[in-house]
């Protein structure tokens, strides 16, 4: 059993904690809880970490001005995803080297 280091120290924000449920820990991918930042928590993000690869990826909530809908941006990759689950699957594929970043 792996003992996870303090998430708030890794990401530099006191609100960051490890999620109680870790559905991908057998793949060496660990997720944080939803982190709310900004004015009245207007900015929301999740972090996914692979300690074996020494890599972390951010999923950030955004807003599509054209459609007027919430979207989820994975790091700086395009396109943004309509659902959080799609964004998490893409993030997992990046950490497992299954996905290729869009140019």
Does 3 reside within a domain? no
pTM recorded for the entire structure: 0.81
Query: Taking a C-beta distance cutoff of 8 angstroms, is the pair 60, 90 a contact?
Result: no
Task: Give residue 51's region: left, alpha or beta (phi > 0; psi -120 to 50).
Answer: alpha
Does 1 reside within a domain? no
- Say which residues have a Cβ less than 8 Å from residue 51's Cβ, sequence separation at least 6: 2, 28, 30
Spatial CA neighbour of 78 closest among 54, 60, 97: 60
For the chain, give the percent of residues with pLDDT over 90: 58
Which band of pLDDT confidence, cut at 50, 70 and 90, is reported for residue 64? confident
Query: Taking a C-beta distance cutoff of 8 angstroms, is the pair 22, 28 a contact?
Result: no
Does 8 reside within a domain? no
Does 5 reside within a domain? no
Q: Which residue(s) pair with 70 in the sheet?
A: 63
Does 6 reside within a domain? no
The count of structural domains within the chain is 1
pLDDT over threshold 50, residue 82: yes
Please compute the mean of the pLDDT values over residues 85-99 and round it to a whole number.
89
Q: Which range of residues forms the domain containing residue 31?
A: 14-95
Is the pLDDT higher at 37 or at 65? 65
Does 9 reside within a domain? no
């Amino acid at each position: 059993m792996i003992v996870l280091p303090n998430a708030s120290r890794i990401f530099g924000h006191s609100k960051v904690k490890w999620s109680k449920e870790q559905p991908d820990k057998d793949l060496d991918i660990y997720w944080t809880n939803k982190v709310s930042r900004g004015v009245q928590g207007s900015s929301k993000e999740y972090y996914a970490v692979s300690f074996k690869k020494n890599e972390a990826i951010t999923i950030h909530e955004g807003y599509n001005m054209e459609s007027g809908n919430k979207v989820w941006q994975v790091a700086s990759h395009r396109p943004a995803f309509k659902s959080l689950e799609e964004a998490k699957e893409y993030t997992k594929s990046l950490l497992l080297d299954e996905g290729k970043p869009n140019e």
